[in-house]
Amino acid sequence: MKRNVIVGQSGGPTSAINSSLAGVYTTAKERGAKKVYGMRHGIQGLLNGDYIDLGEQIKNDLDVELLRRTPAAFLGSCRFKLPEIHEDREVYDKIFEILNELDIEAFIYIGGNDSMDTIKKLSDYGLLTGSDIKFVGCPKTIDNDLALTDHTPGYGSAAKYIGTSIKEVIRDAASQEYPRGIATVVEVMGRDAGWLTGAGVLAEGEDCDGPDALYLPEVPFDIDAFLKKVKKELDKKGYTVVAVSEGIRTKDGQYVCEMGSEHAFVDAFGHKQLTGTANYLCAYLAEKIGCKTRSIELSTLQRAASHLASRIDILEAARIGGASIKAADEGSTGVMVVFERESDDPYQCHTAVKDVHKIANEERLVPRKWINKEGTYVTDEFKTYVKPLIQGDVWPVMVGGIPRHLYMK
Amino acid sequence: MKRNVIVGQSGGPTSAINSSLAGVYTTAKERGAKKVYGMRHGIQGLLNGDYIDLGEQIKNDLDVELLRRTPAAFLGSCRFKLPEIHEDREVYDKIFEILNELDIEAFIYIGGNDSMDTIKKLSDYGLLTGSDIKFVGCPKTIDNDLALTDHTPGYGSAAKYIGTSIKEVIRDAASQEYPRGIATVVEVMGRDAGWLTGAGVLAEGEDCDGPDALYLPEVPFDIDAFLKKVKKELDKKGYTVVAVSEGIRTKDGQYVCEMGSEHAFVDAFGHKQLTGTANYLCAYLAEKIGCKTRSIELSTLQRAASHLASRIDILEAARIGGASIKAADEGSTGVMVVFERESDDPYQCHTAVKDVHKIANEERLVPRKWINKEGTYVTDEFKTYVKPLIQGDVWPVMVGGIPRHLYMK
């Protein structure tokens, strides 16, 4: 590389997104880039001229290590969709003006579906206008729903957190089953894709039977069958722990989290409140069985818990960040870097480059055959798939008993 | 010791309660106890003759290490209050019959306020009837609200988890403040005592300003002042993260979590639903400010997350378990073992023995002067107090990427 690089982060943060940023930075420097700029809050910040010189933030190897262990988007994130090119060329002219002023050679965007839409449009516009800037997408999402890649950085760490937390919740629930315990419903992120909820299977081991059921959004949710299942487990063991995707829907397509709303969860101000899927199901169980219930939403914690990151995930995130620089340096534009798995055991993955037009706005769901017939658990294929992605640990740099992060100075 | 020991666990589990169990077991064996029995589900299980020989579960040093790292009550817990002695002597006769049959010399009960009530009553009955069995309480509660002890095992690990998680949530919120972000309310356990919520201060560091406010139940909650505070932070930084105890109340004594109920949060079945303190406050903020909000309940996770345990806490829990055996072996009964702090820095604590009659059913709150005048944050005294309790780490024994626990065989 001979000129400068600019990199941005977009969409929901993860525990690994900053490791990709570190990979972009170090690889760009190794390949000769003069400066590596960071967009503050992605393309939205860039449009306001809001960017920094990353070299002023990352001064030494310790900074790189801290960055790799820092959750959430170091540069700040955004959720901003570019207009279609034919709708508003001015926005594009403005972006390219800024990029040319900064003497940018490669534009790397770390993000999910929507971010790949940004790469698609910017690279299209670059080709239309004869720009030589290379636009490359670097995948990131805990949802693991990007097309054409084996998996996405961020997913492994979230899966590890979910498996661990559900196992700890099971231990807690099991210790209180006397004489009759609690039905616990754990709500996991994932509106359309059940990759995260499926990771509940990781709680299984010689020392733990795992959750009693996993309800993924890929399969219509049958509330009667759910009720029967919970009753059965309560009768058998005195307690039960199940996990549900926030996005589960009935066969009519109705979101379970909206069922509460319809039945009039009205808040203090007379507004209908979305209760959350687990909250609704707990209210339902309490009514139908009369059992004690507990709903646990893993919420932001599951994407921000870098204290329990997967080593494989953090290393791969850095590696794919580096690979996106390499792709740009080798002349690719309008592409995203992906993982292709060679084998499960021993786990082997290599990176490849794919046309972003085939990725943007697509969604990769859990294959139906990786979910059991009843739609209540994942199969051994799912386990084989997810297990390599959570291996190894990256313990935080602890200062005074609390993880230390890199922060914007 | 020449005869046998029996030990039970009671009340809400913690990350450290099994480390105390390990301390009881190893110290009893070192001191010559023949057998160490474990009550299944505390005194309630014992009444049904439900106990085990702990030596059949703990076979080697690895088992001891695993037990120390296993969250929740290994023996199973219960919430069972013994009747007053004059109300029902039969229950007591039955318990003592079982204890005598098992040739018990020392009865150790690991628990909080209610468990100390059990120790008080059993030791009283023992004295009344001339029994030579020693009854000793071993403190345990994440709430840290037991009288006469500097702190309780379990609190340090919960505090470390809360400080870490709130810091991670702040990083997540801060990365999305563009152009206007989210008001996040984190709900922490603690109905009357704010020790856990106060631990949110641990998120503070060179790399993090910490939460914008901490609302403890020791101070009446002023919802107007809360609204102003949130508005101010949103205007200043674009986002805010505050933490509240589940038990905060207005100056009229009304629980905030019940305000939603009064204003008619009605569930799908026409029942009033307790919405949770954070949920209610988020609905309130959304209505009054029109901002996006996120409520996060740390829920069971904060007491079960042994993957982020404090080393000091786990070591002290084992130590106080051992001290309770020593107290019994030296002839004490009707007592609880406590921690007395000698100095903050370097941190020094020793164990002592206190009359359980002065502990049972008492509650130790955060001193008013450890909370600022406005009731919105804790002071430096609080920080000095809590910091030593979260130092050091006990990383889990990881197997296949997930923490391994000891389980009942």
Instruction: Count interface pairs A-B at CB distance under 8 A.
Output: 244
Gap between the Cα atoms of A120 and A43, Å rounded: 13
- A281: nearest CA in chain B? B268
Selected catalytic residue, list B114, B117, B143, B329: B143
pLDDT digits (tens, 9 = 90+) for A288-332: 999 999 999 999 999 999 999 999 999 999 999 999 999 999 999
Confidence at residue A264, expressed as pLDDT on a 0 to 100 scale: 42
Shortest CB distance from A395 goes to which of B168, B390, B395?
Answer: B395
pLDDT digits (tens, 9 = 90+) for A221-238: 999 999 999 999 999 999
What structural domains and CATH numbers belong to chain A?
4-141+307-362+393-403 (3.40.50.450), 155-304 (3.40.50.460)
pLDDT digits (tens, 9 = 90+) for A34-60: 999 999 999 999 999 999 999 999 999
Q: Please write down the HEC assignment for all residues of B287-354.
A: HHHCCEEEEEECCCHHHHCHHHCEHHHHHHHHHHHHHHHHHHHCCCCCEEEEEEEEEECCEEEEEEEE
Question: If you average pLDDT over residues A116-132, what whole number do you get?
Answer: 97
| Best to test chain B binding among A162, A269, A402 (most B CBs inside 10 Å) | A402
Question: If you average pLDDT over residues A127-134, what whole number do you get?
Answer: 97
**Residue A299 touches partner B, C-beta closer than 8 Å:** yes
Confidence at residue B261, expressed as pLDDT on a 0 to 100 scale: 57
In angstroms, the separation between the Cα of residue A169 and the nearest Cα of chain B is 7
Interface of B with A in 323-352 (CB under 8 A): none
Shortest CB distance from B399 goes to which of A178, A205, A284?
Answer: A205
Question: Is position A61 annotated as part of the catalytic site?
Answer: no
Do A293 and A133 form a contact (C-beta atoms < 8 A)? no
Question: If you average pLDDT over residues A173-184, what whole number do you get?
Answer: 86
Q: DSSP 3-state assignment of A175?
A: coil
Beta pairing, strands A36-39 & A51-53: antiparallel
Q: Is the pLDDT of residue A16 over 70?
A: yes
Confidence at residue A275, expressed as pLDDT on a 0 to 100 scale: 64
Q: How much is the ipTM here?
A: 0.96
Q: For the residues of B208-269, what is the DSSP string, one character each? A: B---SEEE-TTS---HHHHHHHHHHHHHHHS-EEEEEETT-B-TTS-BHHHHHHHTT-B-TT
**Residue B406 touches partner A, C-beta closer than 8 Å:** yes
Burial status of residue A346 (CB atoms within 10 A of its CB: 0-12, 13-18, 19 or more): exposed
Are B72 and A407 within 8 A, CB to CB? Answer: no
Chain B residues inside the 8 Å CB shell of A284: 268
Q: Is the pLDDT of residue A355 over 70?
A: yes
- A200: nearest CA in chain B? B402
Are B260 and A268 within 8 A, CB to CB? Answer: yes
**Residue B203 touches partner A, C-beta closer than 8 Å:** yes
| Best to test chain A binding among B63, B114, B207, B311 (most A CBs inside 10 Å) | B207
Selected catalytic residue, list A114, A124, A143, A329: A143
Q: Is the pLDDT of residue A271 over 80?
A: no
What type of residue sits at position A351?
T
Q: Is the pLDDT of residue A274 over 70?
A: no
Confidence at residue B253, expressed as pLDDT on a 0 to 100 scale: 93
Interface of A with B in 159-188 (CB under 8 A): 160, 163-165, 167-169, 171-179, 184
**Mean pLDDT in chain A?**
94
Are A391 and B407 within 8 A, CB to CB? Answer: no
Do B168 and B135 form a contact (C-beta atoms < 8 A)? no
In angstroms, the separation between the Cα of residue B25 and the nearest Cα of chain A is 19
Are A401 and B395 within 8 A, CB to CB? Answer: no
Confidence at residue B257, expressed as pLDDT on a 0 to 100 scale: 87
Confidence at residue A277, expressed as pLDDT on a 0 to 100 scale: 93
Interface of A with B in 4-63 (CB under 8 A): 9, 13, 40-41, 44-45
The tokens of B280 are what?
């209610």
Chain A residues inside the 8 Å CB shell of B165: 301, 305
Nearest-CA neighbor of A125 among A84, A166, A162, A76? A84
Do B242 and B229 form a contact (C-beta atoms < 8 A)? yes
Confidence at residue B264, expressed as pLDDT on a 0 to 100 scale: 42
Question: If you average pLDDT over residues A244-256, what whole number do you get?
Answer: 95
Question: If you average pLDDT over residues A93-118, what whole number do you get?
Answer: 97
**What are residue B292's DSSP bridge partners?**
B182
Max mean pLDDT among A12-16, A101-105, B111-115 falls in A101-105
One pLDDT digit (tens) per residue for chain B, 409 residues: 999 999 999 999 999 999 999 999 999 999 999 999 999 999 999 999 999 999 999 999 999 999 999 999 999 999 899 999 999 999 999 999 999 999 999 999 999 998 999 999 999 999 999 999 999 999 999 999 999 999 999 999 999 999 999 999 999 999 987 777 899 999 999 999 999 999 999 999 999 999 999 999 999 999 999 999 999 999 999 999 999 999 999 999 999 988 865 444 454 445 444 568 998 999 899 989 999 999 999 999 999 999 999 999 999 999 999 999 999 999 999 999 999 999 999 999 999 999 999 998 889 999 999 999 999 999 999 999 999 999 999 999 999 999 999 999 9
Q: Is the pLDDT of residue A285 over 50?
A: yes
Q: How many CB atoms lie within 10 A of CB B228?
A: 11
